[in-house]
Amino acid sequence: MPSVNKIKGVIGILTGGGDVPGLNPAIRAVTIRAIEEGYRVIGIRRGWAGLTELMRDPQVDNSEHFQELTLDTVNRAGRTGGTFLHTSRTNPTKVSLDAVPDHLKDKYTAPKNDLIPEVLQNLDFLGIDYLIPIGGDDTLSVAVRLAKEGVKVVAIPKTMDNDVPGTDYCIGFSTCVTRTINMANSLRTTAGSHERFLVLEVFGRYAGFTAMLPTMAGAAHRCVIPEFKFDIERLTQILSEDRLQNPSRYSVVLVSEGAMFTGGEMVFESQEKDAFGHAKLGGIGDLVSARLKDLSPKYNHGKTVNVLNQKLGYLVRGGDPDAIDSIVPMAFGNLALDLIIEKTFGRLVVLKHGRYENEPIDVVTSKKKLVDVDKYYHTERYRPRYTSIDLAPMFIFTSD
């Protein structure tokens, strides 16, 4: 490791939003390459919370908010799931009064408070020259703001939903799809044994990529996605047809958590919202299951079809990364270091058209990344279209 006098600069790295497999490999890749190139690396703990709650006093123990990263630390964690730096959904641009750190309560008294000035001063206090945030569009929207404030930012996209604009791939997506396929294949044996409908609720607030890919891969007969409201009567009819045509007498539908009935809205577990204004989704799978059972006699000679209903949720979020979510984070981390070495900032590392590139970071807030329904989704049959794949990216469904 270079001596202090030869250090080229200090790199800060953080993970924000939901955990996904692949975060620790990304942290490992950044740290190993950075140390080899002559930089120090500081891990910010709990996402933007670490840079919001830190106290600028050398006598205060701030170990809850940051730690120096070493080769030993990242090598031990690099093959595991989750993030050893921990994470949060803290949004320093809109901190509610009750969430303002105690040592700042005299200074910030509004119902919502912009603590970006504190973040900037805390970066200076830690001596951080360059910042690598890893997150989805919410986490990275803060990075966009910091880049505009002059912070030297290079961002890495991650999210189960694969919906960060500007990139064909986000860390965590492949493992999510892999687990969804595996779990659907496991549960279908029970669905077949009892001749039931199988309803699996999967991630996807605004984008249906996590439902589309497993369905195309054969894990489900149908899928309903946030981009197109579905008719439950029509869905029941189609699933009933699928079931009767199946020798094992079952059929499977993947339901995105953000999917909506015709004439309906998103379904929430509660109305409590996170720092980015999102209420926690959940329950659409339960509603779909109940309605399928109620309507099933109409399409099954008067007999009710029972439903096996499972919310996959955190089962696809936890655990070790698959091969792609071990390789892509390594590449993203090294690409981020390339940009820092080249002194090219305000960028988002991306994977587009099968190649690693980078985009201006404000692409994150410039548009939404959603399934192109006209091109990729059969709105009458509630399943992916199996055409227009020529020259599509590896994971096929993208509106970019």
Tens-digit pLDDT profile for residues 247-271: 999 999 999 999 999 987 767 665 5
Interval 60-74 mean pLDDT = 95
Tens-digit pLDDT profile for residues 112-135: 999 999 999 999 999 999 999 999
Interval 35-41 mean pLDDT = 97
Closest to 15 measured CA to CA, from 51, 46, 39: 46
**Contact by Cβ (8 Å): 90, 48:** yes
Of the residues 129, 137, 161, 242, only one is catalytic, namely 161
Backbone φ and ψ for 98, nearest 5 degrees, come out as -70, -15
Is residue 161 part of the annotated active site? The answer reads: yes
Which domains are present in the chain? 4-171+321-366 (3.40.50.450), 173-312+373-384 (3.40.50.460)
Q: What string of DSSP letters covers 84-108?
A: TT------TTSEEGGGS-GGGTTT-
pTM of the full structure? 0.92
Tens-digit pLDDT profile for residues 308-366: 999 999 999 999 999 999 999 999 999 999 999 999 999 999 999 889 999 999 999 99
Place of tokens 């991306």: 350
